[in-house]
Each structure stands twice: as structure tokens, then as C-alpha cells.
Chain A
Amino acid sequence: MAAVASVDRAAQPAPAAPPRRRRSFPVWRWAILLVAAAYFLIPLWAGLRFAGLKAFGQVVGYQGFGSAFGLSLRLALVATVLTLALMVPTVVYVHLRLPRVRRIMEAVTILPIVIPPIVLIVGVLKVAPGVLLGTPYLLALLYVVLAMPFAYRSLDAGLRAFDLNTMVEASNSLGAGWPTTLWRVVLPNIRTAILSATVLTVALVLGEFTMASLDEYVTFPVWIVQFEQNAGPVSEAASLLALFVTWLLLMVIVTAGSWSSRKRGGGEVALFTVVRQDYGQTMGEPE
């Protein structure tokens, strides 16, 4: 089939990326960076010195490590799945149909940060049905509440950087129903935001102590505290190990997310940062 118009049928190279300017990094920025690095790294260094390298090898063999770490991972998985299953459709719906409710949503989702975890867990333990009181997964439900502020903000930022209304309408006009539109159009384009929400939820669950302790389940942070009474250096090694494992996990998710996102012209995976899709930046370039 011949082209109808004579509009530049020849291959049109993609717009070349502008040469990157070298950013200057003034001395005061280095100073701030050094102070911040010292603030975070000195305690880590002190912990490493106190624990000693030997202790790291002993952590895994200690009683209760496997079950505690396993429970934390299971809770992280359940809490993340529940958080995304609840929050993604909700935030999408609010953006599409109830944009005026966004301010209220922002206020509501900040509540778990304002209300101390101890108040939440004590209240929930009083009213929770027996079937939930007998299982650690009550904690997963509570972690969903705790993760809500972070997940909401990540997803909200992702959706704001994406022309959701137009995409949904374009998808509808091409014959896609709601489930298809959500699965094939919306979710792939807020993948970065979903990864951010996942990262934050996993980090929160792996580090949460108060609720697990009061619900009397030995999650990894609870195990570390109990263990500290008997073997300080090994407990310290376990803490550092937990930190590094969580860090590694987050870096893997962030790197994978950013690579996948960049391939499609999306933004970096960044916590609480508006993820910019750069489609449209080439607008109006001569062809």
C-alpha cells in the first residue's frame, strides 16, 4: 500500500539526545554530603567494630533466625500484595472519577503516621475477631494500614506524571474494557510507582518492631531484640545483616524498575518523587 501523503517517508531518525552538560558540584554540596555520610556511616562502622566479622557467620545458625526472618518475609509479601491490591484501584479511581477527593485522601492516608503504632495495635487487639488473633497475618493487615501513606504517595505521584484520563479514554475508544485498560495500559505505565510502593512497604515490614512485639509474634526485628539479651555482638551482626539484606533487596527492585522504565522512556524509580514520563518533550520538532 502506497503512502498517501508525501510527508517525509524517508527514515526519520529519532531526535538526538542533547549533549549532557557537566554539572558543577560546589564545595558546600560536598560538605553537606560528607556530614550526612558521617551521620549515617559512623554508627554502621561502630556496629561493625562491635560485632566483628566472625559474628556474621554465626547469625544464621542461631536458634529462631530462620523462622523469624521467614515470618518477616511472608508478612512483607502478604502486606505488599494487599497494599497494592487495595491502593492501586483506589488511587486510579480517585484520579479518574473523584479528583476532588484527592485532598481528603491525602489527609486520611497520613493518619497512620500521626497515630502511634502502639495505639493502633492496642486498639486492634481489643476488637479483632478471634480467627485473626490466632494468626500472624493480623500483623499483615496492620502493616497494610502503616504502609498506606507511603504507597498512596508513590502511586499518586506516578499517576500525576501520566496522562491517565486520555490514556483510559484512548484505550476505551479502541474497544478495551476496564479490566483490560487497567492491566494493559494503566499498570505498565505506573510500574515505577508500583515498584516504589513495593520498596517502601517491604522496608517498613522488615523493620517494624512495636506491633509485632505487642502481638507476640517473633518477627526478625523482635528476634534481634530478644537475642540481644544473650549475645550482643551476634545480635548487632544480625541487625547489620538485616539492614544490608533490606538494602540489597531495595537496590535490586530499584535497579530493575529503573532499567525497565528507562527502556520505555519512563523515569527513575524514586521514592516520593514524581516520576516523569518524557513523552511529549519532542513536541513540535521539525520533521
Chain B
Amino acid sequence: MNDERTERLAAVFRAALGLGPRCDVHSLTQSSTEKWDSLAHVMLVSAIENEFSVTIGVSESLALNSFTGAQRLLQSKLAGAGAQ
């Protein structure tokens, strides 16, 4: 995934999880982030879907528990769609 998309995804993480603008999200995991509760998870998944015009399946959503995981998932989605 290119730098622009990675930064956009990082911005989505910061906004959806209510993290500060300078927060380094690249090593972020659900278990280490207090604000990443089940409600925030729904917001985060929806925000990624909306921002990148992709659909994340239920099992994919359940497995999404880190920034790097989201990066990989998004990369595969966008490669498949050839979009964004």
C-alpha cells in the first residue's frame, strides 16, 4: 500500500478512535488501546469502508484487531477492486 493510502488509513484510525493528531498508530492493536472498544470497532470498520469505498465482511471485521492487519486487509481489497 502506498504512503498516501497508509497515511489516510492512519488518519481514519485517529479520527474513528478519538486519538490525538500526532498519535503513532502504526503499531496500534486493539488489546493495547483502551479506546478501541466494541462500539469504536463498529465506527472504525464503517469509517474504513466509507473512506475507501470497500466492504469488509463480518469475519474480516472480527479479525481486524491491529493497524497492520487493517493495512493488509485494505491492500487486498483495493488490489481486488483496482480502485482508490
Asked if chains A and B come from one complex, the reply is no
Residues of B within 8 A of A (CB): none
Residues of A within 8 A of B (CB): none
